[in-house]
Amino acid sequence: MNHMTHELCVIGCSACAPTTLGPASGYLVRVEQTTLLVDCGPGVIGRLASSGDLADVDAVLVTHEHLDHCGDLMTLAFRRAFPQRLEPIPLYGPAALARVIEGFDQVFGIPTLPELRTPLNDQLPFTPIDLGAGLSIGDIRVETLGAAHPVPTLSLRFPDLDLVYTSDTGLTEELVEFTAGTSTLLAEATYVNEEGRDFTAHGHMGGAEAGELAARAGVELLVLTHLSDPDDEQPTCDAARSRFTGSIEFARPGMRLGRAGSRARVMARED
Ligand SMILES: [Zn+2]
Ligand SMILES: [Zn+2]
């Protein structure tokens, strides 16, 4: 399959669980020869398997242990273990993810089949990432920030794509600094900004906070993702627009984000 070599492709963008818009969180980051799956929520592996893109995945990075970001890890491990046993690929994430990996293997491992006894441990050997650390995964450089969320969570910056993905987080000064100077911001907007509601303590943003982050960080393109309900797009867009005057889009499975010349833009979308 022929792909652009510097892009982020949306696989799933729903909060909590799949919706009419498709899977929960999942994004393919492609730089040069490396394809990294970022987050692996419910529905992500089904979509990647049916499109044929699953075979491209060289490594997986999970931002945090919530189900909508890691629920399909075991599905991926099973797919890679049976009927053909594929070469293991690395899994990265906060150290706390180890608990999920051990739990999945304990509950779903099949003791009578050696290749499925501990599928996650065998097929996706885990390397913990310290919050705030930088790393390279093949051709892809990754910078991280500890997010404001109830469990250890990584916000991610991909310098090769000039893009920040907030994952799940409240709006903080650190996140503004981390995002400053980036062209494209893929930001969560989980809740509608109803009068008087503050999601910061709960570790999420609404459209208003995502718009404020985009404005203060000076980004060109704001792509809103992780909405609780696809029907909330209009009020979420209105809330973001009240704080940010640049381009606003909503993430969709099949959408590809990259750069054309010096401009951040949506390179392709699936209608
Ligand atoms: Zn989430
Ligand atoms: Zn979360």
Residue range 162-170: average pLDDT?
97
For residue 228, give the ligand nearest its CA. 1
pLDDT greater than 90 at residue 263 = no
Reported as a single tens digit per residue, the pLDDT across 31-52 is 999 999 999 999 999 999 999 9
Give the residue from 233, 236, 238, 235 showing the smallest Cα distance to 252: 233
CA distance 54 to 80: 10
For residue 96, give the ligand nearest its CA. 2
Going from the Cα of 149 to the center of ligand 1, the distance in angstroms, rounded, reads: 10
Q: What is the pTM of this model?
A: 0.96
Residues lying with their CB under 5 A of ligand 2, a single-atom ion: 66, 168
> Residue 94, Cα to own-chain centre: how many angstroms?
14
For residue 40, give the ligand nearest its CA. 1
Mean confidence (pLDDT) of the chain = 95
Percent of the chain scoring above 90 in pLDDT: 87
For residue 69, give the ligand nearest its CA. 1
pLDDT greater than 70 at residue 1 = no
Sketch the domain layout of the chain as residue ranges: 6-268
Domain 6-268 sits in CATH 3.30.390.30? no
Going from the Cα of 260 to the center of ligand 2, the distance in angstroms, rounded, reads: 32
CA distance 135 to 137: 7
* pLDDT value of position 2: 44
For residue 16, give the ligand nearest its CA. 1
* pLDDT value of position 28: 98
